Amino acid sequence: MAIDRRTLLHLSLAGGVAGALGLKSAAAAAQQGGGEGVKWIFLGTKGGPRIGTGRSNPANVLLVDGVPFVIDCGYGVARRLVEAKVALPSLRYVFVTHMHSDHVLEFGNMVYGAWSAGLNHPIDAFGPVGLDGLAKAFWQSMKDDIEIRMPDEGKPDPRKFLVVKEITESGPVMATDKVKVTALRTPHPPILERNYAYKFETPKGVIVYVCDSAYNPEIAKFAEGADLLIHEALYVPGVDALAARIKNASTLKEHLLASHTTTEDLGKLAAAAKVKKLVMTHLVPGDIDTITDEMWMQDVRKHYNGSLVVARDLMEVSL
Ligand SMILES: [Zn+2]
Ligand SMILES: [Zn+2]
């Protein structure tokens, strides 16, 4: 079989040829809208809304027996889903952590892309207050196109398919027969209320996703014993270089330091939570190639000795 970049990444995670063979069958199944098991695919691993040629902006998809749960919708999410062989018309659930643009910029476009490719069932979207307004504004922006295409192409009205449910507090969010989702409000200054971490309890194990958040010791309890903690990370020595490049944001450095979790604090969280595996994502800065994986991990390692991975776009982790 051809060994592509995704396969190589999976090989390194699964640690052998058997893992690669497992990927092949799972990817083929997912392409057809099926597939069994629980798999998380990182679609975009760079924090922030800037667009570049390397890592894409924040987005992920969790596949539970082939049913997609998209988590965050940064710029490029639809193309990355296609590259991950997740059929857009198969989208079913969407979760948004907060209303920063790097997490919602392509929310509407992704749903539109699913409709364009054949969507014919509801998509339930969960997120903070503000998400419903974003959806309505998106549909308004595309009103002419939609109302031309519906009669001309015999298509259903996409606006009736997107069902937004806004979250207003920590606690249970939704459940299917296989997945239970719980939210935890976590501070991401200046956003204090409308920002959530999510816990996905699946038949194969528990995944906790924290993105974005300032250092929050409550996360350790929320993620206690999780099979997989996916958490944002801030590499402090890279902040000055990042801030210096953005010429129109005079207080960007202060924002980054106040609103994100440093690699050292992340190590403390993962150790306190005793998670089985930690994957670092939403990397800030995520577009400086001289920051190696080892540099991302070194301060985490001061506190956490468990399984540790720095995420890459299209990397897959199976439970
Ligand atoms: Zn972000
Ligand atoms: Zn944010």
Q: What is the pLDDT of residues 94-108, one digit of tens each?
A: 999 999 999 999 999
pLDDT at position 13 over 70: no
Q: What is the pLDDT of residues 196-255, one digit of tens each?
A: 999 999 999 999 999 999 999 999 999 999 999 999 999 999 887 887 787 887 888 888
Per-residue pLDDT, 285: 95
Q: Is 111 exposed, middle or buried (0-12, 13-18, 19+ CB in 10 A)?
A: buried
Q: What is the pLDDT of residues 276-313, one digit of tens each?
A: 999 999 999 999 999 999 999 999 999 999 999 999 99
Q: What is the pLDDT of residues 50-97, one digit of tens each?
A: 999 999 999 999 999 999 999 999 999 999 999 999 999 999 999 999
Task: Provide the pLDDT confidence category of residue 42 given band limits of 50, 70 and 90.
Answer: very high
Distance CA 213, CA 185 (A): 9
- H helical segments located in 39-176: 77-83, 101-104, 107-116, 131-141, 143-153
Per-residue pLDDT, 256: 84
Q: What is the mean pLDDT of the chain?
A: 90
Per-residue pLDDT, 139: 98
* Pairing of the two strands 93-95 and 180-185: unpaired
Per-residue pLDDT, 218: 97
Per-residue pLDDT, 161: 98
What is the CA(44)–ligand 2 centre distance, in A? 14
- Nearest ligand, CA 47: 1
What is the CA(136)–ligand 2 centre distance, in A? 22
pLDDT at position 3 over 80: no
**Rounded to 5 degrees, what are φ and ψ at 155?**
-100, 155
Task: Provide the pLDDT confidence category of residue 34 given band limits of 50, 70 and 90.
Answer: low
Per-residue pLDDT, 228: 98
| Position 289, amino acid | D
- Nearest ligand, CA 48: 1
Q: What number of helices (H) and strands (E) belong to the chain?
A: 12, 14
What is the CA(316)–ligand 1 centre distance, in A? 20
pLDDT at position 4 over 50: no
Task: Provide the pLDDT confidence category of residue 266 given band limits of 50, 70 and 90.
Answer: very high
Per-residue pLDDT, 241: 81
pTM: 0.88
Distance CA 78, CA 90 (A): 12
How is residue 122 written in tokens? 């509801």
Per-residue pLDDT, 29: 41
Per-residue pLDDT, 20: 33
- Nearest ligand, CA 103: 1
What is the CA(100)–ligand 2 centre distance, in A? 5
- Nearest ligand, CA 100: 2
What is the CA(176)–ligand 2 centre distance, in A? 28
What is the CA(256)–ligand 1 centre distance, in A? 10
283, 287, 288, 290 alpha-carbon torsion, rounded to 10°: 80
Distance CA 299, CA 243 (A): 21
What is the CA(5)–ligand 1 centre distance, in A? 26
Fold adopted by 24-318: Metallo-beta-lactamase; Chain A (3.60.15)
What is the CA(52)–ligand 1 centre distance, in A? 15
- Nearest ligand, CA 57: 1
Per-residue pLDDT, 23: 35
Contact between 301 and 267 (Cβ < 8 Å)? yes
Contact between 29 and 36 (Cβ < 8 Å)? yes
pLDDT at position 22 over 70: no
Per-residue pLDDT, 120: 96
Contact between 281 and 233 (Cβ < 8 Å)? yes
| Position 50, amino acid | R
What is the CA(47)–ligand 1 centre distance, in A? 5
What is the CA(58)–ligand 2 centre distance, in A? 10
